Copies of this chain bind each other. A is one copy, B any other.
Amino acid sequence: MSNRTAILLITCQDQKGLVARVSGFIHDFGGNILDSDHHTDRETGDFLMRTVFDLEGFQVPAEEIETAFRPIAKVHDMNFQIHISDRKPNVGILVSQYDHCLVDVLQRFRRGELAIEIPVIISNHQTAEWWARAFEIPFQYFPVQPGEKAKQERQVLDSLHSVGVDLVVLARYMQILTETFLQQVGCPVINIHHSFLPAFVGAKPYHQAYDRGVKIIGATAHYATAELDEGPIIEQDVVRVGHRDTVQDLIRKGRDLEVMVFARAIRLHIERRVLVYGRKTVVFD
């Protein structure tokens, strides 16, 4: 699979013949389907599809595929996107004081495990600067002054817009983003929440879990929406805890969970395996 490939993402209302239509389109132009998956939600009637095909031998140039497919999309009233494999998405990272998710993404990036560019790391604290410098990534420090949250959000937005990002990831960014921010950022935002949502929404979830005496804790990666911790869930995972675990142990065990769940969610997103519909996701893994 070293060749260039195209990923075609489709969402529409379920109709007869959709798979035949899409696979026919690719076959008719000499393409070869490498991977294809689709899902129909029988309750809502939503149809979602992800198809990967080889551009080698495909008779339509990559930049014209969108135009070529548009008539089909129109007939079936489809939303669709085409992604070409050789373009790495720009990912902006927002982080506060806890740096484990940040460091994990950086070391995966450096090792080449994540096919992304990281044009900027932005923080409301200075603790992350050491890591930014070690990994040679531009760092921006925008503290939140009392009563000036709107100004700081403006600075963050300007910084993201100036470098151009396709995705923003919140690597334990402890500021609640306003609806205005989310509307203006212009790309998806992935957050990692340190609980098994919907359990323990909001602040200090490990303390909440400790007080309730649960036997398992979790972490959840989701798209950020205006409703706190209510966005579509991309990935979750859990780990067992017991009465010997203090809150500090929960925080320590939780860090490893957060790191893994966050990294998996980013990979799933940049491989275009996640489609959102309603408040849910379909994950074609």
Contact = CB atoms under 8 A, between A and B. Distances in A.
A17 interface: yes
A246 interface: yes
Interface stretch (A65-73, A143-151, A196-204): A196-204
A118 to B, nearest CB: 16
A119 B107 CA distance: 22
A244 B39 contact: yes
Nearest to A241: B236
Interface of A is mostly: mixed
A67 to B, nearest CB: 21
A36 B39 contact: no
Interface string A14-37: 001101100110110011111111
Nearest to A19: B23
A33 to B, nearest CB: 5
A138 interface: no
Nearest to A213: B280
A27 B111 CA distance: 46
A271 to B, nearest CB: 12
B200 A214 contact: no
A75 interface: no
Nearest to A54: B16
B213 A243 contact: no
A37 to B, nearest CB: 7
13 contacts: A16-B30, A17-B23, A19-B19, A19-B23, A23-B24, A36-B38, A39-B243, A100-B107, A212-B279, A214-B236, A215-B233, A256-B263, A260-B260
Given A213-B281, A238-B238, 16 more contacts: A19-B36, A20-B20, A20-B23, A24-B24, A37-B37, A113-B252, A113-B255, A198-B199, A212-B279, A215-B233, A215-B234, A216-B236, A216-B237, A243-B280, A243-B281, A256-B260
Interface of A: 1, 16-17, 19-20, 23-24, 26-27, 30-42, 99-100, 103-104, 107, 111, 113, 134-135, 196-200, 212-216, 218, 232-238, 242-244, 246, 252, 255-256, 260, 263, 279-283, 285
